[in-house]
Amino acid sequence: MPTRRKALKTILSGAALATAPGSLNALPVDWKSGRQPLARKGNIRHSVCRWCFNDFPLDTLCVFARQIGLSGIDLVGPADWPVLKAHGLDSSMCNGAEINLVDGWNDPKFHEQLIRNYSEMIPLVAKAGYRNLICFSGNRRGMDDETGLKNCVEGLKKVMGLAEKHSVILQIEVFNSKVNHPDYMADNTPWTIELCKRIGSEHFKILYDIYHMQINEGDVIRTIRDHHDYFGHYHTAGVPGRHEIDESQELYYPAIMRAIVDTGFKGYVAQEFIPVAGDKLASLAAGVDICDV
């Protein structure tokens, strides 16, 4: 089964799938007609994570995304932004400044490279007209929570002024450390909320991954209601397995989406499940339907 770590490594190395001539033939028959995009209810801004649909050229994914009412694609870097722009889609969560998922801001030995990477990427994100740029805590490697917080604050504050100047929001993603990302430090919301408080900027938020936090914490709806001010972006996936968000898994996404809408959230919710059904694009459309409350 593909993993996000492997997919991001491929993307960052420049080996991601290229747009292929005739790629629209990969679309389901119902979506070849060039019909008008599906109108959504407008309460949720829908997007999808690129890596989960790497089987499709980006151009194909963009066409389908527009037609089912998406307005962005997550985890797309500068090299592919022209493709998104050609289809009228946002890079709803930009990436490419991070080193990887395990070497992050909690370790000072990576600060020099991270500061350089983010200092270069933040202006590019702003120039392209985007707002969100992902970041990661990194793995613990024996480090305690307080040391990790202090190290993250020390490093991140050296780029926060630039982020504020360019109106770019850095978003730290929470992962589960139980199944997918052993030893990852930002594996719970209290730690990341404390980091937000210490950073003290509206341009630093949490990318709240519902799948990951269901595994590590549960109590998803209460967490969203109580702490939504710190959340700048959401990811979905089914638990267990990280597959379709249908009746085969334990989370009930319509209720979760209603809780998000009730907070007044105006950002993006991105589908980040690995489809296992035969028609993967149909699975994506179904997932967006479920979340369109």
Find, among 70, 198, 185, 209, the residue nearest to 134 by Cα: 209
Beta carbons within 8 Å of 26's beta carbon, 6+ residues apart: 56, 57, 60
Q: Is the peptide bond before 78 cis (omega within 30 degrees of 0)?
A: no
Question: Which residues in the chain show pLDDT less than 70?
Answer: 1-37
Q: pTM, whole model, 2 decimals?
A: 0.89
What is the per-residue pLDDT across 64-78, written as a single tens digit (0 to 9) for each? 999 999 999 999 999
Domains defined along the chain, listed by start:
4-11+39-291 (3.20.20.150)
Note the pLDDT tens digit of each residue in 245-275. Answer: 999 999 999 999 999 999 999 999 999 999 9
